[in-house]
């Protein structure tokens, strides 16, 4: 092993690789796909990660979903796991997979049980940030209750809108990739927004809409990478703008001077506040007065041709193959914790 960590710095130079021999990773399972609403994005990410690791000589293999992965691990087929599943309920980003891997004493990339579970639940993430004095948009959480009528649910959304005021965002509390998200500018659009969000499991989140710039900050091994300011062709950075459109602009770094340092420090603080580790991405809105508001943490960010973590890494001179290698390196910290009988 060579090199050393960045010690929590918000910015800085790129450290040397810790692992220089691909054989040190052993046989690696790249788990992708799964059963969540983000399955197709995960498959795309997984194919890219698999190709990058193999290009660097890593003995990496694709595994589709959690059941197949656990069967293979029980049979002793893999030494560690690169988790590129997205989402909850079979998506591998909500702490369930992480708990299973820790019970099997298998090291893996990304956040542990606590960080994954908290980050997947946007309501609880926001509650932690508020307790830590970190800024996030005002919100109302609507708990899903068995047997609650559609009319009752719609009435709750309208009540939340009256409390927060328009414009606002309605979204599932536990989905990613902009799945089920609506911008509501008029009261007449509330029912359709609530119905869309309700198609997905879990609670609903009605959130103040911050008008301004959308930015994201990647975190890799306790270092915040340069921010990216996202400028979609349309008004909203939705699923189409993220994964399909070729006209979305990505400006990196997204800010200058002290403002850039501020948003990186905020992202790192938010990431650590919810117990995250390894790598991830923090999404932030910056209003027209220059105030930052935390939206969510992604603990297994996309690695597609449109994804943001590779764009930020490239700005620091880290190509895609090296980025995947560095993410896989973080599994050694998990391995050390498991060997010591603990987990973050």
Of the residues 38, 94, 175, 329, which is catalytic? Answer: 38
Provide the sign of the torsion angle of the four alpha carbons 49, 50, 55, 58, taken in this order. positive
Is 302 an active-site residue?
yes
Is 298 an active-site residue?
yes
Of the residues 243, 254, 264, 275, which is catalytic? Answer: 243
**DSSP 3-state of 255:** coil
DSSP calls for 164-195: H-SSEEEEETT--TTTT-EEE-SGGGHHHHHH
Say if residues 302 and 177 touch (Cβ distance below 8 Å): yes
Of the residues 36, 116, 182, 298, which is catalytic? Answer: 298
Say if residues 38 and 120 touch (Cβ distance below 8 Å): no
Give CA–CA dist 341/326, Å, rounded. Answer: 24
Of the residues 112, 296, 329, 331, which is catalytic? Answer: 296
Of the residues 281, 286, 326, 334, which is catalytic? Answer: 281
Is 280 an active-site residue?
no
DSSP calls for 202-216: S-EEEEEPPPEEEEE
Of the residues 156, 213, 283, 329, which is catalytic? Answer: 283
Is 321 an active-site residue?
no
Is 45 an active-site residue?
no
Cβ atoms within 10 A of the Cβ of 272, count?
A: 15
Of the residues 95, 302, 329, 331, which is catalytic? Answer: 302
Is 40 an active-site residue?
no
Q: Where are the beta strands (DSSP E) in 204-291?
A: 204-208, 212-220, 223-224, 228-231, 249-251, 279-287
Active-site positions? Answer: 38, 177, 243, 281, 283, 296, 298, 302
């Amino acid at each position: 092993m060579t090199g050393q960590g960045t010690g929590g710095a918000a910015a800085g130079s790129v450290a040397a690789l810790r692992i220089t021999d691909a054989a040190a990773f052993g046989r690696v399972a790249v788990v992708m796909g799964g059963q969540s609403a983000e399955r197709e994005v995960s498959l795309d990410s997984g194919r890219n990660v698999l190709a990058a690791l193999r290009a660097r000589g890593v003995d990496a293999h694709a595994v589709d979903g959690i059941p197949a992965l656990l069967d293979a691990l029980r049979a002793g087929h893999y030494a560690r796991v690169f988790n590129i599943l997205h989402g909850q309920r079979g998506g591998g980003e909500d702490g369930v997979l992480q708990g299973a891997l820790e019970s099997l004493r298998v090291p893996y990339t990304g956040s542990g049980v606590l960080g994954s579970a908290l980050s997947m639940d946007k309501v609880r993430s926001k509650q932690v940030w508020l307790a830590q004095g970190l800024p996030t948009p005002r919100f109302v959480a609507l708990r899903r209750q068995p047997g609650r009528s559609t009319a009752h649910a719609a009435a709750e959304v309208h009540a939340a809108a009256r409390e927060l005021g328009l414009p606002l965002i309605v979204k599932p509390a536990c989905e990613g990739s902009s799945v089920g998200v609506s911008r509501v500018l008029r009261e007449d659009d509330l029912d359709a927004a609530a119905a869309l969000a309700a198609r997905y499991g879990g609670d609903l989140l009605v959130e103040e809409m911050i008008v301004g710039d959308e930015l994201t900050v990647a975190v890799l091994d306790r270092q915040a990478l340069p921010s990216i300011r996202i400028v979609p062709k349309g008004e909203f950075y939705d699923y189409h703008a993220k994964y399909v459109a070729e006209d979305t602009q990505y400006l990196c770094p997204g800010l200058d001077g002290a403002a850039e340092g501020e948003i990186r420090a905020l992202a790192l603080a938010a990431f650590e506040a919810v117990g995250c580790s390894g790598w991830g991405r923090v999404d932030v809105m910056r209003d027209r007065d220059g105030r930052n508001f935390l939206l969510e943490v992604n603990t297994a960010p996309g690695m597609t041709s449109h994804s943001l973590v590779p764009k930020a890494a490239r700005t620091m001179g880290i190509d895609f193959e090296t980025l995947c290698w560095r993410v896989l390196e973080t599994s050694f910290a998990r391995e050390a914790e498991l060997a010591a009988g603990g987990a973050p």
